[in-house]
């Protein structure tokens, strides 16, 4: 039986294990999906060594960037992003293994946001600077949108702080993507600290979160007439993309 799985820490909130095992059952695929909750990235080598029928892995927090030194190859977009969330495990002769890293977040996000884009959506603000925001940055670049990161602390000249979100900045950047965990269940009464009163019906707010279904970030955007969307479709599309990668 083929095996697939997820590495990360902690894994209590994992969507993938339910999604893939239901898929395998529904489609009569002789495979199983398991969670590998590893407290240290160094434990990754053992996971691969101890599971000879392992064909592919998803990667989640906090290992999307830390996993890269352990891989043999990255696909082109993934190398640009510097974050991996899918690993294809290729078994070679004499027990050798080739590990190839991909990023299905970029595929899922791009496919999810593209139908919402209007001609005036030229610039985006990305809230957060982690692995997910890097996938969003490159996904939007592929769609012709220029992005700027927003962080709580000043990291460099090309990263804005929340205090620097002036009326002019908010008017120019009509896409705002929340790539942070702020507002995720159970802390649903929180939202990123942007000037919501400057939002207009020209704005598109996309939250990578999907629990709750409508975050406070989205509610405040909707109240200003903005278009809002959560990350559930992206989650499903990146899972489809992961399966396609493993089957190539």
Active site residues: 64
Determine phi and psi for 38, rounding to 5 degrees: -110, 125
DSSP 199-225: --TT-EEEES--SSSS-HHHHHHHHTT
42 Cβ contact list (under 8 Å, min separation 6): none
User: In whole angstroms, what is the distance from residue 210 CA to residue 184 CA?
Assistant: 8
- Tell me how many degrees the CA angle 62-65-69 measures, rounded to the nearest 5: 120
**Residue 89 CA neighbour count, 13 Å, CB half:** 24
- CA-nearest of 129, 237, 227, 138 to 178 is 129
User: In whole angstroms, what is the distance from residue 108 CA to residue 236 CA?
Assistant: 7
Paired with 147 in beta bridges are: 124
Beta-strand (E) ranges in 10-85? 31-37, 54-59, 73-74
User: In whole angstroms, what is the distance from residue 159 CA to residue 128 CA?
Assistant: 10
């Amino acid at each position: 039986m083929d095996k697939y799985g997820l590495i990360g820490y902690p894994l209590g909130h994992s969507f993938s294990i339910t999604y893939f095992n239901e898929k395998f059952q529904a489609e009569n695929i002789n495979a199983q999906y398991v969670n590998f909750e590893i407290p240290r990235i160094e434990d990754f080598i053992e996971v691969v060594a101890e599971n000879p029928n392992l064909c592919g892995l998803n990667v989640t927090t906090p290992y999307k960037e830390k996993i890269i030194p352990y891989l043999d190859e990255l696909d082109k977009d993934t190398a640009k992003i510097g974050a991996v969330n899918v690993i294809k495990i290729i078994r070679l002769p004499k027990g050798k293994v080739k590990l190839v890293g991909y990023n299905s977040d970029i595929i899922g996000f791009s496919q999810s946001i593209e139908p919402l884009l209007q001609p005036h959506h030229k610039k985006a603000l990305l809230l957060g600077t982690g692995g997910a925001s890097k996938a969003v940055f490159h996904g939007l670049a592929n769609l012709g949108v220029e992005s700027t990161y927003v962080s709580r602390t000043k990291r460099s000249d090309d990263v804005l702080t929340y205090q620097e979100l002036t009326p002019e900045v908010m008017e120019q950047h009509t896409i705002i993507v929340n790539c942070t965990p702020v507002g995720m269940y159970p802390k649903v009464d929180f939202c990123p600290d942007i000037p919501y009163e400057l939002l207009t019906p020209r704005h598109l707010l996309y939250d990578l979160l999907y629990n709750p279904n409508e975050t406070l970030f989205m509610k405040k955007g909707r109240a200003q007439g903005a278009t809002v969307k959560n990350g559930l479709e992206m989650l499903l599309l990146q899972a489809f993309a992961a399966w396609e990668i493993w089957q190539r």
